[in-house]
């Protein structure tokens, strides 16, 4: 089957659009392939789009092409977008005047919401950043937050207590009292350092986890957004002359 020049002339008179963000839809036929061009305009920042293509033949009815390549999945805003439909590969015959529709089906935000920048939240309060970047809410983040706050509180309160013991030691005139107050100051300060170390360990672990988990999340999102074309596609379609069930794999 070949698409005739006569049909091509009629095609050029029948371009339509179905979305406010799609403009200047046009197409032509080359080597039995339908080359569709369009522009995406008035788009917000940091958004990609999936679009669908529909072909309406006056005789055959609506046709949904499957052997298409180009700017179909995760398309950024701009002009000069192109979609190529291999008509023969879909075993479709265009018999008369057709209309081409381009419609925005889905949108994707490119803003990395669980990225490594959330490490600053963990630096301010451990547990907050890790809670944001986690795949699912985790009680470990709450334990980290509570453990850090408790460790910091105990370290500060024990430091104040140790300073008071040392002050009493400095003011004591009896040697026994001096030794007692000095031992209490030393032991209390040692305990304060243990709690301080615990709070520091929790802070360090939570910051590192948030950083590396955020980097991993960003890589996954960017990798997902870079997959501009699906490799496999199962489809069911019907026209007045044929009913098809198929599986398309793109190499």
3 has a pLDDT exceeding 60 = no
**From 17-26, 79-88, 176-185, 206-215, the region with the lowest mean pLDDT:** 17-26
The 3 state secondary structure assigned to the chain is CCCCHHHHHHHCCCECCCCCCEEEEEEEEECCEEEEEEEECCCCCCEEEEEEEEEEECCCEEECCCCEEECCCCECCEEEEEEEEECHHHCCCCCCCEEEEEEEEEEEECCCCCCHHHHHHHHHCCCHHHHHHCCCCCHHHHHHHHHHHHHHHHHHHHHHHHHHHHHHHHHCCCHHHHHHHHHHHHHHHHHHHHHHHHHHHHHHHHHHHHHHHHHHHHHHHHHHHCCCCCCEEEEEEECCCCEEEEEEECC
194 has a pLDDT exceeding 90 = yes
- Say how far residue 171 (Cα) sits from the centre of its chain: 63
pLDDT value at residue 137? 80
Region 143-167 average pLDDT: 94
- Say how far residue 143 (Cα) sits from the centre of its chain: 27
pLDDT value at residue 190? 95
The mean of the pLDDT values for the chain is: 79
The rounded distance, in Å, linking the Cα atoms of 7 and 165 is 98
- pLDDT band at residue 207, thresholds of 50, 70 and 90? very high
- CATH, range 5-111: 2.60.40
Domain residue spans of the chain: 5-111, 116-225
Region 143-163 average pLDDT: 94
Instruction: Tally Cβ neighbours within 10 Å of residue 232.
Output: 8
Q: For residue range 21-52, what is the model confidence (pLDDT) as tens digits?
A: 788 888 888 887 888 888 888 887 778 888 88
- pLDDT band at residue 227, thresholds of 50, 70 and 90? low
pTM greater than the 0.85 cutoff: no
pLDDT value at residue 18? 40
pLDDT value at residue 123? 92
């Amino acid at each position: 089957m070949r698409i005739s020049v006569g049909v091509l002339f009629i095609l050029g008179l029948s371009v339509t659009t179905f979305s406010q963000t799609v403009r200047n839809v046009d197409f032509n036929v080359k080597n039995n392939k339908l080359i569709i061009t369009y522009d995406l305009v008035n788009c917000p920042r940091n958004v990609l789009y999936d679009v669908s293509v529909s072909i309406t033949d006056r005789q055959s009815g609506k046709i949904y092409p499957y052997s298409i390549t180009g700017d179909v999945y995760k398309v950024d805003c701009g002009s000069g977008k192109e979609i190529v439909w291999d008509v023969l590969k879909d075993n479709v015959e265009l018999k008369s005047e057709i209309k081409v529709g381009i419609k925005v089906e889905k949108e994707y935000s490119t803003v990395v919401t669980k990225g490594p920048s959330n490490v600053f939240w963990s630096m301010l309060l451990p547990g907050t950043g890790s809670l944001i970047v986690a795949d699912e809410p985790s009680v470990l983040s709450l334990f980290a937050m509570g453990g850090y706050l408790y460790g910091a509180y105990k370290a500060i309160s024990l430091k104040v207590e140790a300073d008071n013991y040392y002050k009493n030691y400095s003011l004591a005139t009896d040697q026994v009292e001096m030794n007692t107050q000095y031992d209490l100051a030393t032991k209390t300060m040692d305990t304060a350092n243990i709690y301080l170390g615990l709070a520091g360990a929790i802070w360090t672990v939570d910051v590192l986890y948030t950083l590396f988990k955020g980097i991993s999340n960003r890589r996954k999102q960017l990798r997902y957004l870079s997959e501009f074309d699906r490799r496999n596609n199962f489809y069911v379609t019907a026209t007045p002359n044929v009913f098809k069930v198929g599986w398309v794999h793109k190499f």
